[in-house]
Amino acid sequence: MIFDALSVLLLLLGLFFFVSGLLGLWRFPDTFARLHALTKADNLGLGLVMTGLLFQVPDVLWAIKFVLVWLLALVASAVNAHLIAVFLHRQQEGHDESA
Amino acid sequence: MNLLDGLWGILDLLLVAVLLLLAMAAVLSSDRRRSMMLFIVFGLVLALVWARLHAPDIALAEAAIGAGLGGALLMATLRRDTHQQTDQFPQHPVVLWGAGVLVMVLGTMIAWGLFSVLPTVEQTWRKGAAVDAQLAFSGVSHPVTAVLLNFRAWDTLLELAVLLAAILGIRALGYVRSAYVTEVAFSQLAVWLVPLLILMAGYVLWAGAHSPGGAFQAGALLAGAGILLRLAGYSHAGLPTTRWLVRLGLVVGTGVFLLVGLGLLGWGQGFLHYPVAYAKWWILLIEMLATVSIGMTLTLAFMGGIPQKEAA
């Protein structure tokens, strides 16, 4: 029962951060700011959701799988954001040279 | 309990609505990049819908092949596209409207046909009980795998043949362009992810015998590893560089499947009728080789032709 309550609380918190990230994606003026909002807020949201789900696992093996999935998602999202940012940075520099 | 059912119902309606909207947006968007992104999101939502329909196998395949690989193929195509403008329809409006009406008529006919056969299907479309009754003789304990590799092995063999035909067409397009130039962060990620993907492919293949998974999902994961390598700057994407090995890999899935079928026919068993005692091993052999073929085929499809090194 206490675990269920903790799960619900953490999941709701995580959702809040996901929604915040979405708001940033919608409202921020330039792509770098949007990327920043999205990666920061989403990673925290994902962490909270995963922690919330950890209270529901039947055994340790499940917990390990969850944590592995979480780590993979973190690394992938960080590298993704980095790639998009580098690409944009290059594009803007290229524009400056041609101008 | 009722409240929970209601919530699920609302979620399902939302999913269907989002799916329809995404499909329309992807088709109607005039910007190709945007269309492509929408298509990828559409694939992911479709995977969710399959999951809600309690079909994890199809959900896995949709996420890996439909959204993942389909998206990668579209991106590779866009990259080759030299003129980046949006499509202007050069056709006469009469032609466009005519085509639209024709499609609608065809769609209506298909829908009508489906509805007319539904009453007859009612008694037969739930084959679950029959599959479960025969499962013990299939060599595997997962009903989906049993149907795909044993009871309806025909269909799977032909699917592999379709992939083979497709890659032959792609290879007829000539040689692949130079590899991508990439970021250090990405090559490092590839170094970590590729072994993991190969491991996952092996697991998904093995798991197919008793839970969701199988050759197509595993092959898609291998192809993911190949595409990662290609994007990280390895020009041959981890594929063998000798020509005959590549050709062998592409053909082996369909070929061995066919040979096993014919061999069993010659043995007096009937085409692809495995003897019960060895069914599991035949299925495992075919699935393993099919995984290799599918992985290679999809990787080469992403590269879009014959790699330079192989040509030498």
pLDDT of residue B90: 63
Q: Are B135 and B143 in contact (CB under 8 A)?
A: yes
Buried b / exposed e over B176-195, threshold 16 CB at 10 Å, is: beebeebbeebeebbeebbe
Question: Are the C-beta atoms of B10 and B30 separated by less than 8 Å?
Answer: no
DSSP H or E stretch at residue B5:
helix B2-28
Distance CA B148, CA B143 (A): 9
Q: What is the pLDDT of residue B126?
A: 58
Instruction: Name the residue with tokens 């699920």.
Output: B8
Give the per-residue pLDDT at A77: 87
Q: Is the pLDDT of residue A57 over 80?
A: yes
In angstroms, the CA A25 to CA B181 distance is 29
pTM of the model: 0.76
Averaged pLDDT, groups of 10, chain B, 312 residues long: 80 92 90 88 92 84 85 82 54 82 89 73 59 73 74 81 89 75 79 90 85 84 90 82 87 88 77 76 87 92 76 48
Q: Tell me, what's the pLDDT at A49?
A: 92
Q: Tokens for B179, please give them.
A: 């590899």
| Residue A32 contacts residue A88 (beta carbons within 8 Å) | yes
Of B185, B192, B196, Cβ closest to residue A82: B185
Q: DSSP character for B306?
A: B
- Contact: A83, B183; criterion CB under 8 Å: yes
Degrees to nearest 5, angle at CA B159 with B158 and B162: 85
- Identify the pLDDT of residue B82: 54
Angstrom distance (rounded) from CA A3 to CA A94 = 54
Question: Taking CA B42 as the corner, what is the angle to CA B40 and CA B45, rounded to the nearest 5 degrees?
Answer: 115
CA distance B272 to chain A (A): 37
**What is the band of A99 on the pLDDT scale with cuts at 50, 70, 90?**
very low
What are phi and psi for residue B152, nearest 5 degrees?
-125, 45
Predicted pLDDT at B42: 93
Contact: A83, B192; criterion CB under 8 Å: no
Closest Cα partner for B296 from B225, B235, B234, B231?
A: B225
Q: How far is CA A34 from CA A19, A46, B166, in A?
A: 13, 17, 40
Q: What is residue B172's predicted lDDT score, i.e. its pLDDT?
A: 82
Asked if B185 has any chain A CB less than 8 Å from its own CB, the reply is yes
Task: Choose the weakest-confidence range: A66-75, A90-99, B97-106, B242-251.
Answer: A90-99
CA of residue B244 relative to chain centroid, distance: 25
Interface residue B312 vs chain A (CB under 8 A) = no
Query: Is A98 a residue whose pLDDT tops 50?
Result: no
Q: Rounded to an integer, what is the distance from CA B65 to the centroid of its chain? A: 4
Strands (E), chain B: none
Q: Give the span between the Cα atoms of B177 and A84, in whole angstroms.
A: 23
pLDDT of residue B17: 94
Please say whether the beta carbons of B286 and B149 come within 8 A. Answer: yes
